[in-house]
Structure 1
């Protein structure tokens, strides 16, 4: 099975550097070197293992604090299609090659082997799930009773021209740009054809970077649906806690993802993710005017200098999914999880699990975790693997009641 991955969209022309020999659909051959295209073309490699193509200025981390452009290299077929917005670059690549790249892009290829195996299973499952459930998990907006309320969630819409995009909106896929280790290839071989299943059905295997000590339930981030294997669990061996959400965020309790093991993190996180060190507990501060500017810029709502931030609803991990923001002129209620993170940052807040301390002339947001917190916690899973847990034990910890099978 091949996977079609969207790499770049909306281009007037595309320059690609080929390694090895490619041929288009008419049989015309293209040798090593740079080639520029301004119309549709499909280039098939003469040999999958030895041929590759490189693209300059591929944007990664779109909209997040690590956004940047990179030169990236890919195996498989290079395809250009023309749409109203311009040319779209698509990479057609075998499924297991895709999974190998994803686990080397989402995490470092030097990760513990059992973590790579766990990630191979969930990345394969995440990719396959919408094929069996095309109507699930689209973006949405619920009509609120209060005209001041915005309640949106961001799903994984089907891309009309390809299966998945290459960035964090779907799964990170950076071709063979990141160093492929023997462990990454072994993890994919060892789990080839395996999916995460619940009652026999392939799971919607969500994951985030760091849950902050407690994973979140699905409905906090997306539509109001109870998914048994995406419920909140404690990310610790103790499996229980007695904190309120606010007290939990203000504390720094033990959890699998609460680690300062710099050697492990250097083996787990890709280089640009290592720039983020305060993923378990973090804080940011804004003046009332800065918050007002953010709300106006991100949501188009002019509230005037902000006077109060109030959490109206939280999930089990403390992540807010309804936040009331009151300014001098008006107020607005924002939800769900990602919309709050987008509204209160020029990129995205690390998470919506935060408490607010009002200080003279500023608001201090003290938060927990990195990402939506639903499903597998990548940092926590890395620590579990480092402690000797198997990939099936890791998956059963984060996705209760599931099994692994072809």
Structure 2
């Protein structure tokens, strides 16, 4: 046993009431404004009006308020296809990584039932109804590679299961917010301000979406390694809890060496288990805290401090990351160069604001991880303070910047011709750092230790058998 090993009983909690059976989850695989999609059934399925669909490919069209299949079947607003026996189905041209730099289409195969529904806006929703453990099997093979270390997969299965349950009533964490989310307002200093964050609880027609907005759920084709099924068997029904509540266990790809606080990315709620912490054993003595200080943040971001997630080991990365994530090699420290014209164009497109020439980009508020929470954009026509982290990332990239942990360099011209952003990390940085956790597992940490590192004070709890 590794010297870093521990027994799970030290982290067990019995404060949250057990439930009688495994929940069925509604996963939104696609939302299609055009109302057209194709899918292939690998076996016989039965509709909710008891008609039978044989194996084969089908095309779907929305006609008014009706769902029409290529075999001539027509259904009022929705239809659910349930497998008659063990069978799967494939949805074609599913878009993944929506609005991120890895966006692409792929065919995805699923187990469980297929629901097709027209929402209030006339969009066609493609929904997979699936038992929670099957859902988690896919998530841990989509967020990370199925060939990852077993201890990482165990840790990820527990947080993915718990995160989902924390979003769904009756376990949903109800929050009050003291920010206006998304409208330009005037702050206490008299400046115009746009503060926006993107809630993961925004879905109304299904429990969770299948993309990075929630958790990657890319079907059964990536769950190919036996260790994935071993993971699900050994962690079945386990979640993290804190203060008699299922933990809203957030995670991101790479924290850049410093894990972020929940309130820096979303509403101003204090969640003690989602707090700022160094992603390593001992904070490097050559750097200074807090990273909310601009000088300290500059030193940290321009440096290359040791951390669990600071790795360029190609063999390990190939083992733990899905293929398209391996295309991003500069996840720990990165640089983006933008021209004056590019910045103006991006801000006009993303924020809908004409700033004129951009004179300055000034940090207003950094969180203790070094991430920008508020950034002042000084233009010839307008000055605006923008936040939070994802809105800042959106504003300065055709997709998203890797993170909001960046410093800004500009030339000395009255109207700078170029801006260079030096950044750290990939994602919001809250909760578990996926690459950091993977490296912890590679170094011999068991999953309990990994979870306690990223969610201090949380306890493991068996919610259902």
Shorter-chain TM-score range = over 0.9
Structure 2 residue ranges without an equivalent (≥5): 1-22, 62-66, 68-77, 289-295
**Equivalent residues in 2 for 1:67-146, closer than 5 Å:** 67-83=103-119, 84-130=121-167, 131=169, 132-133=171-172, 135-136=174-175, 140-141=181-182, 143-145=185-187, 146=190
Distance 1:202 1:179 in 2: 26
Q: Which residues in structure 2 correspond to 1:3-402 (within 5 Å)?
A: 3-9=25-31, 10-38=33-61, 39=67, 40-48=78-86, 51-83=87-119, 84-130=121-167, 131=169, 132-133=171-172, 135-136=174-175, 140-141=181-182, 143-145=185-187, 146=190, 148-239=192-283, 242-243=287-288, 244-359=296-411, 361-402=417-458
Instruction: Write out per-residue CA displacement over residues 181-208 of structure 1, whole angstroms, 9 at most, x where no aligned residue.
Output: 1111111111101001112321010000
After TM superposition, the score normalised by the length of structure 2 is 0.84
CA distance in 2 between partners of 1:217 and 1:137 (Å): 17
Question: 1:153 aligns to what SS in structure 2?
Answer: coil
Provide closer, same or farther for how the CA distance between residues 134 and 404 of structure 1 changes in structure 2, counting only shifts above 3 A: closer
- Quick check: 1:208–1:376 contact (8 Å CA) kept in 2? yes
Q: Is there any run of 5+ residues in structure 1 with no aligned partner, and where?
A: none
User: Could you list the per-position Cα deviations for residues 348-373 of structure 1 after superposition, in whole angstroms to 9, with x for gaps in the alignment?
Assistant: 00000001111362111000000000
For structure 1, which segment, 376-385 or 192-201, has the greater mean C-alpha deviation from structure 2 after superposition? 192-201
Radius of gyration: which is bigger? 2
Summarize deviations over 1:151-187 as a string: whole Å, max 9, x none.
1111112421110010001110011132421111111
- Alignment root-mean-square deviation, CA: 1.6
Following superposition, the deviation at residue 98 of structure 1 comes to 0.1
Q: Distance in 1 between matches of 2:133 and 2:114?
A: 18
Structure-1-length-normalised TM-score: 0.96
Contact 1:292 1:327 (8 Å CA) reproduced: no
| Cα gap change, 1:127 to 1:298, in 2 (>3 Å) | same
Partner Cα distance (2:343, 2:144) in 1: 33
Any idea what SS the aligned residue of 1:78 has?
A: strand
Query: Secondary structure, in 3 states, of the residue corresponding to 2:453?
Result: helix
| Counterpart in the other structure of 2:292 | none
Greater mean alpha carbon deviation, residues 236-245 or residues 15-24 = 236-245
Work out whether residues 218 and 225 of structure 1, in 8 Å CA contact, stay in contact via their aligned partners in 2: yes
